[in-house]
Chains A and B, each alone.
Chain A
Amino acid sequence: MELTATTTIRRPATEVYAFWRDLENLPTFMAHLQEVRATGDRTSRWVADAPFGKDIAWDAEILEERPGEKISWRSAADADVPNAGTVRFTPAPDGISTEVHIALVYDIPGGTIGKAVAKYFGEEPHQQLDDDLRRLKQVMETGEVVRSDGAPWGKRAREEFPQRPAQPLSDAELAKGAGR
């Protein structure tokens, strides 16, 4: 499965690149990632979230990095769901903003994991990557992921409808949400 998405961020390319290159930042805006930990200069350990059915972890390696322009990576050979990605950062015509273009490739296996992955991506896999980039934009431009009463859990607000009503959260809901 190949997914592409793009957005424009009103920050310089060097800054957006630097944020992405610190791979440990990825889980702040990518819904499926729980943790990314750098294990070397170009290697890292990725843990994906429970929506996969169970946590799933793999090693990844950066194949190419051009500061301010491009990062490519791919999972190590033994990954359960082999995947690779490229993100490019190009100056927008306004001379201020940066266009972010991302392409991800998943080699979805058969069996239980394959089914879980397919279920996770649902009928509109592109929507999720679009939303990931929207959150990246929120973080880069405003400092954090924006929350509403209907969608209070930031990137964890995956199921868009029905949402909780647009009314303030109770103490119990806040405690439950904070613990997730």
Chain B
Amino acid sequence: MRANTWAGRNKVEVRDVPDPRILNKRDAVVRITSTAICGSDLHLVDGYVPTMQDGDVMGHEFMGEVVEVGPDVAAERLRVGDRVVVPFPIACGACNACAAELYSCCENTNPNAGIAEKMFGHPVAGIFGYSHLTGGFAGGQAQYARVPFADVGPLKIESDLADEQVLFLSDILPTGYMGAEMCDIQPSDVVAVWGAGPVGQFAMDSARVLGAAKVIAIDKEPYRLEMAERAGHIPVNFEEVDVRSRLLELTGGRGPDKCIDAVGLEATHGSAHIATYDRVKQAVRAESDRPHVLRQAIMSCRSGGVVSVIGVYGGLLDKFPAGAWMNRSLTLRTGQCHVQRYMKPLLGRIEGGELDPTRIITHTLPLEEAERGFELFKNKEDHCEKVVLKP
């Protein structure tokens, strides 16, 4: 089959690889009909996530048709011919983490748990196409994928919704939603979202759906801010205005009640000095993550507010404003999304017309053009917001 693979730092390549097989009894093989490029794929390609290997099949946002099931997948749960969206964290459904619905922390699905434990203190779940640290599972930017624990994760789509309406249930819609949910949004809340990429846009829409009074979008790309504005959110361009002053102005001096970091470890900064400081520390491996957004969100949030982090961090960061966090009673909440928890309720919200995930799609390309898709997305060319690939 054809698959988009990691070919070294800043390089992806569509190659011929073997077709996937059933390796465990609860596996399924899915013929992929739609897949997408995620912002976190850029962290892999940019070289910020260790343990990638030449030839790793990328991609963790995919859906398709079940073409084979392992002997222990119960027919009432999943059969050949079912149309499914596959959640990016692989979860067993039987461990204590899964019992607590902490699916991205599943205790059984990462065969490289020992490595993850060294990095993170405790292991994390396996993830499709997302380095060997999260298990070394082939991803979904391909014609076919093997899906372990197929009787646990995949969501069956039984209505006639188009792929584009449900594909993002695999990751970015639940991720954005969890970012908003962690904010415990009250009707009087002003919610500020850093990053108007795909996850940020969905965090904004989710904050609105959960009843926020006002939602603010912070980014530097005019086209992304316009996209947020068209969806009813208030744009703030950090290259044009001072973010803190503008947020104070928009909130009568209080600061946003809830702040969402939908950027993570590769933040860009308006101040060249601070950006250089973090970039240099990253280059010499004294710091793995550039936490500019996290710092600004903590400093901006009103006292007693919540800072919710859904942008990806990978390792260590520097100059964490612990004083502001502690003295002003802020709550910091975070997590890789527990996608399985949100797929069904969010499918309901899509069917009910409350959320329209298709609004962020700007490019649909054949899988063969994955490399071009990565370039468009990474360099924000041609007003690229979200690339869907068709195998």
Contact = CB atoms under 8 A, between A and B. Distances in A.
A142 B94 CA distance: 7
A104 B54 CA distance: 39
Contact of A148 (B17, B95, B114, B135): B135
Contacts of A116: none
A157 interface: yes
A97 B126 CA distance: 22
A148 B55 contact: no
Contacts of B72: 143
Contact of B136 (A8, A127, A163): A163
A137 B107 CA distance: 9
A141 B17 contact: no
Interface stretch (B22-30, B183-191, B225-233, B317-325): B22-30
Nearest to A131: B114
B148 A150 contact: no
A162 B99 CA distance: 33
A143 B25 CA distance: 9
Contact of A166 (B18, B19, B21, B138): B138
A27 to B, nearest CB: 18
Contacts of B25: 143-144
Contacts of B135: 148, 150-151
A110 B99 CA distance: 48
Contacts of B55: 165-167
Contacts of B146: 149, 168
Given A131-B114, A138-B108, A146-B109, A152 B23 contact: yes
A165 B129 CA distance: 10
Nearest to B130: A166
A168 B17 contact: yes
Interface of A: 8, 10, 94, 97, 127, 130-131, 134, 137-138, 141-144, 146-152, 157, 160-163, 165-171, 173-174
9 contacts: A141-B94, A146-B92, A146-B108, A148-B111, A163-B132, A167-B18, A167-B55, A168-B19, A171-B18
Interface of B: 1, 3, 5, 17-21, 23-26, 51, 53-57, 72, 92, 94-96, 99, 107-115, 117, 126, 129, 132, 135-139, 146, 148-149
Query: What 3 pairs between A and B have smallest CB-CB spacing?
Result: A150-B136, A165-B55, A151-B111
